[in-house]
Amino acid sequence: MERPLTQHIPASGAALHIKEYEAVGGYTALRKVLQEFTPAEVTARVKDADLKGRGGAGFSTGMKWSFVPMNVSGPKYLVANADEMEPGTFKDRWLLEGNPHQLLEGMIISAYAIQATQAFVFLRWAYKDAAREMNKAIADAYAAGYLGKNILGKNYSLEMQLHTGVGRYMCGEETALLNSLEGKRAIPRAKPPFPQVSGLFGKPTIVNNVETLSFIPHIMNNGGDWFKSLSHTADGGTKIYGVSGQVNNPGAWELPMGVTMRELLEEHAGGMKNGFRFRGALPGGASTDFLTDAHMDVKMDFAGVAAAGSRLGTGTMVVLDDHTCPVGFVHNLEHFFAQESCGFCTPCREGLPWTEKILYALEQGHGTYADLDQLDMHTKLLGPGNTFCALAPGAMEPLQSALKYFREDFEQHIKEKKCPYAHHSH
Amino acid sequence: MPIIHIDNKPYEVKEGKNLLEACLSLGLNLPYFCWHPALGSVGACRQCAVKVFKDEDDKKGRIVMSCMEPVKDNLRMSVDDSDAKSFREHVIGWLMTNHPHDCAVCDEGGSCHLQDMTVMTGHAYRDYRFTKRTYSNQYLGPFLNHEMNRCIQCYRCVRFYKDFAGGKDLDVFAAHNHVYFGRQQDGTLESEFSGNLAEICPTGVFTDKTLKEHYTRKWDMTSAPSVCQGCGLGCNIIAGERYGTVRQITNRFNGDVNGYFLCDRGRYGYEFVNSKDRIKAPMVRHSPAEGSNGIPLMQHIRSKIVSKKVIGIGSPRASLESNFVLKQLVGADNFYLGVSAADHSLVSLALKILQQGPVRAASLQEAAAADAVLILGEDVTNTAPMLALSVRQAVRRIPVEQAINNVHVPAWQDAAVREAVQDSKGPLYILNVLETKLDELAKGAYHTAPDNIARIGFGVSHLLSDKMPEVTGMSDQGKAIAQEIATTLKNAKNPLIIAGYGSGSEAVIKAAANVAWALHDLGIDAMLTFTVPECNSMGLEMLGGHRLDTAMDQVLHDAVDTAIILENDLYRRLNHHTANHFFKSIKDIILLDHLYNPTAEKATVLLPAGTFAESDGTLVNNESRAQRFFQVFTPGTDVQESWRWLLQAGVATGNASLAGLVHLDDVVSAIARTCKVFAGIDTLTPGAGFRIAGQKIPREPHRYSGRTAMQADVNVSEPKPPEDSDTALSFTMEGYRGTPPSAMIPFFWSPGWNSVQSVNKFQVETGGALRDGNPGKRLIAPNVNGHTPFFTQVPEPFLPLAGHLLLVPLHHIYGSEELSVHTPGIAERMPAPYIMLHSEDAKRFQVAEGYLLHFIENGHHYTLPVIINDTLQQGAAGIPVGLPNMEIAEAPQLIKI
């Protein structure tokens, strides 16, 4: 089984430094691209691989790049979205800390494809080790001639900078990220115009996830067919999956795209810990719908998870066990989402705290049946299109599915006027 | 025009609009908060949700925000769709989770957009059962009250204050449901346009603090359409009164002039009307006129006029009617314009240029659409504040056009346009004697003496057209600046040249005219804006009369018996010495004015003249736009319009030229008939006989309360309401409830729309002109006859002179205008008298910041504290103009130190 993204990361997780990276074939893709490929050919190859964005939305990367107007003057930007703040998600961290040059090489090639003049890594503030490694990697890449003027002596120049965020979940949304990078409030922008046309400082900009960009050197070296062949399903490549919760072996693994949930949980995560029963899981981070026992054979790719009523999201699963109160579980999530709402649009700013307060009231034994109606109503009203961006709709996904799959738990809170899991609750 | 289907009915709508604008323009009710016609859409509040359908067969549809969706031909949408309605109702529900529901004690109550929208959506039952978040409020200065708990986070305040008006000290802080709109710390809001927050805010977060001092509900106010008296731009206002005091000034939309906004001097400068210094009864030699001497007032006045040598002194802050009647009363030969020599020269020059030249005066809205701006010798933020707001929009025109082309977004999608525009700006060049607030927007800002400004202006005009005089001996830097400006203007489609009274220099005004005319000769649609000092400076100049300084000659040679002074303090027009001499030389001074002032001290007969709020009349603004203002209330004292006093004097003296003139319409017709320049002013508004459905237009809303009780302490019988024999407005709540003619809108109200947002209902389309056209009439048309005049006299360059300083006038939005300083908040923000020097000059004269500098001007001694500003031209000294308690010094002129 090939693990292109993580195969060279030492078991210790320590970063692969530039010489080590070069020794395992690092920067050969960049060399090849600058010698042999036009920017359009790079994009064509990425399209050919049908690489889908690993940040959660699963949009075709090559397609995204192809929207960048190529015949305009002035700066263009490439941004690596390394603001990994989705609760339960830690896949990019692995790549950032373990193989920073792989990301850099992917970024330089991607920047070349859109003829960007400047690249940024927008990094989550809390990833202190990653920040250190990225800074070193960028400096080393400059020193080695992979960045700066006339990269590898060719007629292409690119500057790169690391930007550490201040810890807003909102910055994971690409347009809010761009606002933040400009020094503005991290609020999302209306689309259209898309960042490909009017992004950072109003200039054409591509924002890609760390995992997505890290694939680029491998696709350049090995081609689209190779990439597709890595997968079990129609969505090509490998995927870094993660599992957290009361399992025997929580962690993250690079696996062929499309492994089943059962395989992931039982083979890789080692099954539930003794005394804990699986009740459900958020398959792709906090803003995805619960899947349950009934979905164990769902193939974990974009289409498969969607068909099961959820989203692949980041591919990092959070497991709910039978000792944890589902109401408390979603209360914790809604607390997070309410706090991380940017405050720009009404339904999100006011609706999320409302759901949080209801869930808290339920947990405290003050819930009413009318509260459930309110919660149901919010899951419908805070849907896509009703709110300005995807934050609130994402926040409603675990809630709506919890109300669906664990309704009796909610009702029990009301009937018993207390949390039946009180000894475990938050 | 595209057809859209709203709830299965086809409507023709305008291309390029969004669905919200389309719906509102069609007269449909659709609630909104964050959208504003002048600010565009950002999609924050989610209140204007509607459903759109893919096609006829799509029954499900999807919810969209109507403010963010462009009109498309054949688009199908629903306002009444139950999902959309339910969503809109819930948006209010969410907004109400933290709103304090304190309408009863909120200043906004009764004119609150949030109330209106709440009712419109049908949200009536509160199902949020948790605690509300609360905020601390801030002290924001004398103009605005801050009550953040009421905030519904629509973001309009910061979008207006920062994005539209260029303010820097109001922002949004924090996140999620704790977002806070305010300043970094307590303190006076710095923007000259801060008062607009009271109207921009859809609820009671920012409210008018002067109104709070004497609060009354909007529905309890008697209001009338009026025109601002604060400067020469003639912004349209609505003034509201109760119990004999003016309570509030709000914007009166005029699509050609001020649009949706006012400056803070205009909004808050009204309190002189309520001043304790008002002259309320006629006085003869400082005693009540009908007192011990027993001679009826008019008989007394007659004795001072008939068979006497009488002169009349008009006023640039009095109506055309009052000035006209005075001129008729004393005869044209004896009528003097009550303005300083400098102002007279400047305004008459500006008038001549507009009348004789081929370039038109720009309205404020035309100025906002200019694609290149050159400002010569003018700090517009202080001399004509709303013009600064227009210039702030003009510098965005080119970048916005580019953004729309490059990014393919409609102009109304504000956030996307601003993102694409970033900090890029269209061409603006400012030449002024020192830095101005607009410099931050300028491609080039140069600080030099008025004569040097004029030289560069002349240089620009010569580069544009050989016909214009050449400037000899120009410095290399001056040449480079002139070349850059000329090249820019030449490439513009609608360049605007701004000059005016600010620099006090005729040469600067002439240079501006030459530049505009040279552009005109190149086939470019250039525009000119000349600022003028006062609300009727232009009207007075057009009416015509002798210079005030020649009155002094007449007084000295001709032994004048009586001077009738109209709404004027001559101590602001003449230096102290000359004014004293003038008053000493005349036996009788009849003064008509609002407030006790130094001239009133000298008056032998003092007549209480109605302010704008107690008068009807006409003003002519800087672009020659004649506009009517209407009396707001009857003062219940002897106060009446100056023109009425003067008509009575005319009757008493048997003046033939005033015979038969009684009412406003009579005077207006007489002006239109006898003065060619004012032809057409009798059609500005319908006359007194105008009725709709047999009814007058009420100044009071139909909810006006307390009428039967408000005078019950005097008499339990309700008194007969005052009648308005001059206009088609009534002083009561009875009358026609529909839309009045656009020039006669006493307040904006429409069923379900109690706030200022109801202006939508009075417009042909949202943001467009008022229904039957924007009020006012421009009196001067450009003189396009193929022949372009030009000025030939280029001034000599200014160079600092040993032992001397060039006094230059500096204007202040708060302080330089005579009447507005009677508002305590404006007085609070007024600077103390000073003299401003460059630090090199301070060294030269061995003074420093705070030192007192003594100089003699025209035999008069001045001692002023020094302030240092190194953007000031070396060799020049700035002195503030018009501050109370500061005697005037003619500027610019060289003084010896």
**Do the chains contact at B416 and A352, CB–CB below 8 Å?**
no
Together in a domain, B371 and B510? yes
Identify the DSSP state of B160: I
> Which residue in chain B is spatially nearest to A341 when comparing CA positions?
B176
All residues of chain B having their beta carbon less than 8 Å from the beta carbon of residue A336 are none
Together in a domain, B586 and B444? no
Together in a domain, B520 and B409? yes
Together in a domain, B335 and B380? no
Alpha-carbon gap: A372 to the closest alpha carbon of chain B (Å): 13
> Which residue in chain A is spatially nearest to B155 when comparing CA positions?
A344
What are B414's strand-pairing partners?
Answer: none
B87 within 8 A of B103, measured Cβ to Cβ: no
Together in a domain, B562 and B667? yes
Domain assignment of residue B798, yes or no: no
- B302 reaches A (C-beta below 8 A): no
Task: In whole angstroms, give the CA distance from residue B432 to residue B443.
Answer: 14
What is the reported pLDDT for B719?
A: 87
Predicted model pTM: 0.97
All residues of chain A having their beta carbon less than 8 Å from the beta carbon of residue B409 are 192-193, 198
Backbone region of residue B155 per phi and psi (left: phi > 0; alpha: psi in -120 to 50; beta: other values)? left
> Which residue of A170, A205, A339, A350 is the best one to mutate when testing the B interface, meaning the one whose CB has the most B CBs within 10 A?
A350
**Do the chains contact at B46 and A346, CB–CB below 8 Å?**
yes
CATH fold for the domain made of A18-229: Rossmann fold (3.40.50)
Tokens of B672: 């239109």
Beta strands B428-432 and B372-376: pairing type?
A: parallel
**Do the chains contact at B422 and A352, CB–CB below 8 Å?**
no
DSSP, collapsed to helix, strand or coil, labels residue B660 as coil
pLDDT bin (cut points 50, 70, 90) of residue B294 is low
Domain assignment of residue B334, yes or no: yes
Burial-class residue A201 by CB neighbours within 10 Å (0-12, 13-18, 19+): middle
Q: Crossing angle, helix A28-36 and helix A210-229, to 10 degrees? A: 80
Identify the DSSP state of B131: P
Domain assignment of residue B430, yes or no: yes
Together in a domain, B588 and B667? yes
**Do the chains contact at B49 and A386, CB–CB below 8 Å?**
yes
Together in a domain, B301 and B363? no
- B178 reaches A (C-beta below 8 A): yes
**Do the chains contact at B130 and A361, CB–CB below 8 Å?**
yes
Predicted ipTM > 0.85? yes
**Do the chains contact at A340 and B95, CB–CB below 8 Å?**
no
Least CB–CB distance from B419: residue in A168, A170, A202? A202
Q: What is the mean pLDDT of residues B406-432?
A: 96
All residues of chain A having their beta carbon less than 8 Å from the beta carbon of residue B420 are 193, 198, 202
Least CB–CB distance from B130: residue in A192, A344, A357? A357
A279 within 8 A of A322, measured Cβ to Cβ: yes
- A339 reaches B (C-beta below 8 A): yes
What is the reported pLDDT for A426?
A: 44
**Do the chains contact at A202 and B128, CB–CB below 8 Å?**
no
**Do the chains contact at B177 and A349, CB–CB below 8 Å?**
yes
CATH number at residue B28: 3.10.20.740
- B63 reaches A (C-beta below 8 A): yes
**Do the chains contact at A386 and B87, CB–CB below 8 Å?**
yes
Instruction: Please name the CATH architecture into which domain A238-321 falls.
Output: Roll (3.10)
All residues of chain B having their beta carbon less than 8 Å from the beta carbon of residue A339 are 176
Alpha-carbon gap: B423 to the closest alpha carbon of chain A (Å): 9
Q: pLDDT tens digits, residue range B638-677?
A: 999 999 999 999 999 999 999 999 999 999 999 999 999 9
Planar angle of CA B249, B255, B258, nearest 5 degrees: 40
The yes-or-no verdict on residue B556 having pLDDT over 90 is no
**Do the chains contact at A192 and B43, CB–CB below 8 Å?**
no
Q: What is the mean pLDDT of residues A78-99?
A: 96
The yes-or-no verdict on residue B574 having pLDDT over 60 is yes
For B501-576, where are the E strands, in sequence order? 527-531, 562-566
Alpha-carbon gap: A186 to the closest alpha carbon of chain B (Å): 9
Q: What is the mean pLDDT of residues B379-403?
A: 97
**Do the chains contact at B416 and A197, CB–CB below 8 Å?**
no
Comparing CA positions, the residue from A337, A207, B733, A346 lying closest to residue A355 is: A337
What is the reported pLDDT for A150?
A: 97
Query: Residue B469, Cβ neighbours under 10 Å: how many?
Result: 16
Q: pLDDT tens digits, residue range A145-194?
A: 999 999 999 999 999 999 999 999 999 999 999 999 999 999 999 999 99
Together in a domain, B541 and B648? yes
All residues of chain A having their beta carbon less than 8 Å from the beta carbon of residue B43 are 190, 345, 388
Residue ending a domain, among B625, B659, B678, is: B678
Q: Which A-chain residues 187-206 have CB contacts (< 8 A) with chain B?
A: 189-190, 192-193, 197-198, 201-202
Identify the DSSP state of B873: P
The yes-or-no verdict on residue A36 having pLDDT over 80 is yes
Together in a domain, B372 and B504? yes
All residues of chain A having their beta carbon less than 8 Å from the beta carbon of residue B174 are 343
- DSSP secondary structure, A332-398, as one string: HHHHHHHHH--S-SHHHHHHHHHHHHHHHHHHTT---HHHHHHHHHHHHHT-TTTSSSSHHHHHHHH
| Average pLDDT across chain B, whole number | 95
Q: With pLDDT > 90 as the criterion, what percentage of chain A qualifies?
A: 96
Task: In whole angstroms, give the CA distance from residue B434 to residue B836.
Answer: 10
> Which residue in chain A is spatially nearest to B151 when comparing CA positions?
A346
The yes-or-no verdict on residue A425 having pLDDT over 50 is no
- A185 reaches B (C-beta below 8 A): yes
Interface A:B, Cβ pairs < 8 A: 112
| Rounded CA Rg of chain A | 22
All residues of chain B having their beta carbon less than 8 Å from the beta carbon of residue A68 are none
- A388 reaches B (C-beta below 8 A): yes
Q: Which B-chain residues 233-292 have CB contacts (< 8 A) with chain A?
A: none
**Do the chains contact at B176 and A189, CB–CB below 8 Å?**
no
Planar angle of CA B105, B108, B111, nearest 5 degrees: 130
Number of domains in chain B: 4
Domain assignment of residue B55, yes or no: yes
Cα–chain-centroid distance for residue A111? 20
Together in a domain, B411 and B451? yes
Together in a domain, B364 and B455? yes
Residues of the domain holding B455: 354-528
Q: pLDDT tens digits, residue range B604-627?
A: 999 999 999 999 999 999 999 999
B355 within 8 A of B521, measured Cβ to Cβ: no
- The domain locations on chain A are 18-229, 238-321, 326-424
- DSSP secondary structure, A55-119, as one string: TTT--BHHHHHHTS-SS--S--EEEEEE---STT--HHHHHHHH-HHHHHHHHHHHHHHHT-SEE
CATH number at residue B849: 2.40.40.20
- B392 reaches A (C-beta below 8 A): no
Of all helices (H) and strands (E), which one includes residue B626? strand B625-629
Burial-class residue A311 by CB neighbours within 10 Å (0-12, 13-18, 19+): buried
- The number of residues making up chain A comes to 426
CATH number at residue B315: 3.40.50.740
Q: pLDDT tens digits, residue range B798-845?
A: 999 998 999 999 999 999 999 999 999 999 999 999 999 999 999 999
Q: pLDDT tens digits, residue range B124-179?
A: 999 999 999 999 999 999 999 999 999 999 999 999 999 999 999 999 999 999 99
pLDDT bin (cut points 50, 70, 90) of residue A422 is confident
Q: What is the mean pLDDT of residues B102-131?
A: 96
Instruction: Please name the CATH architecture into which domain A326-424 falls.
Output: Up-down Bundle (1.20)
Task: In whole angstroms, give the CA distance from residue A305 to residue A299.
Answer: 7
CATH number at residue B428: 3.40.228
Comparing CA positions, the residue from B140, B60, B352 lying closest to residue B828 is: B140
Q: Please name the residue ranges forming H helices in A182-311.
A: 210-229, 261-262, 302-307
Residue ending a domain, among B96, B125, B154, is: B96
Alpha-carbon gap: B73 to the closest alpha carbon of chain A (Å): 19
Together in a domain, B327 and B436? no
Q: pLDDT tens digits, residue range B300-350?
A: 999 999 999 999 999 999 999 999 999 999 999 999 999 999 999 999 999
> Which residue of B62, B419, B423, B425 is the best one to mutate when testing the A interface, meaning the one whose CB has the most A CBs within 10 A?
B419
Task: In whole angstroms, give the CA distance from residue A64 to residue B394.
Answer: 36
Q: pLDDT tens digits, residue range A252-276?
A: 999 999 999 999 999 999 999 999 9
The yes-or-no verdict on residue B107 having pLDDT over 90 is yes
Q: Which B-chain residues 148-177 have CB contacts (< 8 A) with chain A?
A: 152-153, 155, 172, 174-177
The yes-or-no verdict on residue B292 having pLDDT over 60 is no
What is the reported pLDDT for A423?
A: 63
Domain assignment of residue B729, yes or no: no
**Do the chains contact at B420 and A198, CB–CB below 8 Å?**
yes
- B48 reaches A (C-beta below 8 A): no
